[in-house]
């Protein structure tokens, strides 16, 4: 595979091309620095709502059915997403249909019309999306965890916003926000798969090159303050209690992130991981147990998710903390370290067989301002992690002043959980 090539247009827009001539599918992806961390309390959720509205009509395709019908007619896989730090629009198509994908996705990004009746209708759609997530405690517990860590600041707000704010959004707010953030120097276009590189760059320049650069609004820095373990409980009548237990870590620019990835895999990255074996196989307390690190431009955390028997919440919490303590105090056996690295590398390489995953791999790095790293370079970084690197990270982040748990379940005593939530 040829490495990623970066081209920057005169207006500041960046183009990443990752050609693989034998691919049957090609992905066209547009990323823009516009997410929930760029919002104020009054427009919380607007980034996500704007993403929705781009599919409701453009100058060239005035109705939502015009967009959906054309995409379905291409046999395309097309979607969009909003995160804390960026929004993305993409289409994955048969390689020979890339020109049509470029035309549609660029139109969504460049020319939304924000028709007033469609805005009002889409408010109902987004509110039902929020309702859907409320009924998915396995996912909702992650929102509670973010709120627990970061509180009343953008990093702690739900990306989808609140129902009250969604109902209040106006066309003027959408237009103003888009003008402040959807500018070329804050936008990355990525093409991965089978395509003619010189030709596609010219076509992207023709579509995006005429956009004038504007002043880009920034985001507020995340503030963190914690002195002791914290608990956030939400009582809900569900058959299974869902927990997210973890610790504050560091940003995506920290070199320790590679050791953190290996550490999280050892804890809960697969069926042979320590927590899967302990909580599911030995204790029989959960069906799903997993660990992962989530790192942003100026903050991050490692967390363990589990859906558990409500009566076993305290033993499960203690089991997780015990495994964290072991990682702080004992070197990881070489056999286990090798297995975790093999598991991580295998997931990376297998995942990047798909053109959309490959586009996201490079695009996410570029939009975050990270130096571009190839999959091979990432593998080398992971392979270089030592047992002592892992222990050093564990000793740094597995401390009481970084420890948090969010819980969704039918019952629970917060004081009891908080008493158990403490390193020795």
Catalytic residues: 51
Q: 3-state class of 398 per DSSP?
A: coil
- The Cα–Cα gap between 96 and 130 comes to 37
Helices 334-351 & 257-268 angle (0-180, nearest 10)? 100
**What Cα–Cα distance (Å) separates residue 156 from each residue in 91, 161, 223, 304, 409?**
30, 11, 10, 18, 21
Both tokens of 15, joined, read 């183009």
3-state SS of the chain: helix, strand, coil percent to 5? 50, 20, 30
What does the H/E/C string look like for 168-216? HCCHHHHHHHHHHHCCHHHEEEEEEECCCHHHHHHHHHHHHCCCCCCCC
CA-closest candidate to residue 183, choices 231, 150, 217? 217
CB atoms within 10 A of CB 286: 22
Contact 97, 74 (CB under 8 A): yes
Contact 26, 394 (CB under 8 A): no
Q: In what order do the strands lie in the sheet with 25-32?
A: 5-8, 14-19, 187-193, 25-32, 87-94, 77-82
Q: What single string gives the DSSP state of each residue in 58-112?
A: BSSS-SHHHHHHHHHHHT-EEEEEE-SS-EEEEEEEEGGGHHHHHHHHHHHHH-B
Backbone angles phi, psi at 407, to 5 degrees: -135, 135
Beta-bridge partner residues of 32? 87, 187
- The Cα–Cα gap between 230 and 218 comes to 30
CA-closest candidate to residue 219, choices 184, 177, 171, 169? 177
């Amino acid at each position: 595979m040829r490495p990623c090539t970066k081209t920057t247009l005169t207006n500041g827009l960046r183009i990443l091309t990752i050609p693989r001539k034998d691919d049957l599918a090609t992905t066209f992806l547009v990323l823009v620095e516009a997410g929930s961390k760029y919002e104020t309390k009054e427009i919380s959720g607007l980034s996500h709502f704007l993403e929705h509205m781009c599919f409701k009509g453009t100058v060239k395709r005035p109705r939502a059915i015009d967009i959906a019908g054309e995409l379905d007619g291409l046999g395309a896989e097309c979607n969009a997403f909003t995160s804390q730090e960026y929004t993305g629009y993409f289409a994955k198509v048969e390689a020979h249909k890339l020109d049509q994908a470029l035309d549609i996705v660029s139109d969504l990004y460049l020319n939304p019309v924000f028709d007033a009746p469609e805005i009002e209708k889409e408010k109902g759609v987004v509110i039902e999306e929020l309702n859907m997530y409320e009924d998915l405690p396995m996912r909702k517990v992650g929102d509670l965890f973010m709120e627990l860590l970061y509180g009343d600041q953008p990093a702690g707000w739900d990306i989808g916003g609140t129902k009250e704010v969604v109902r209040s959004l106006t066309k003027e707010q959408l237009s103003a926000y888009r003008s402040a953030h959807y500018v070329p120097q804050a936008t990355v276009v990525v093409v991965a798969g089978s395509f003619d590189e010189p030709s596609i760059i010219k076509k992207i320049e023709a579509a995006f090159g005429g956009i004038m650069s504007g002043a880009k609004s920034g985001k507020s820095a995340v503030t963190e303050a914690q002195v002791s373990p914290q608990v956030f409980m939400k009582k809900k009548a569900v058959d299974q209690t869902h927990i997210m237990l973890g610790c504050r870590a560091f940003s995506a620019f920290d070199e320790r992130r590679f050791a953190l990835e290996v550490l999280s895999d050892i804890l809960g990255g697969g069926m042979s991981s320590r927590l899967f074996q302990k909580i599911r196989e030995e204790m029989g307390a959960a069906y799903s147990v997993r660990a992962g690190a989530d790192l942003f431009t100026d903050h991050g955390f490692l967390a363990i998710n589990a859906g558990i028997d409500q009566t076993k919440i305290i033993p499960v919490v203690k089991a997780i903390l015990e495994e964290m303590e072991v990682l702080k105090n004992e070197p990881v056996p070489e056999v286990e370290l090798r297995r975790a690295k093999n598991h991580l590398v295998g997931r990376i390489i297998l995942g990047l067989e798909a053109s959309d995953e490959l586009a996201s791999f490079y695009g996410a790095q570029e939009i975050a301002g990270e130096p571009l790293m190839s999959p091979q370079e990432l593998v080398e970084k992971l392979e270089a992690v030592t047992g002592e690197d892992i222990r050093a990270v564990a000793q740094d982040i597995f401390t009481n002043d970084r420890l948090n748990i969010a819980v969704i379940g039918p019952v629970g005593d917060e004081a009891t959980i908080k008493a158990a939530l403490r390193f020795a």
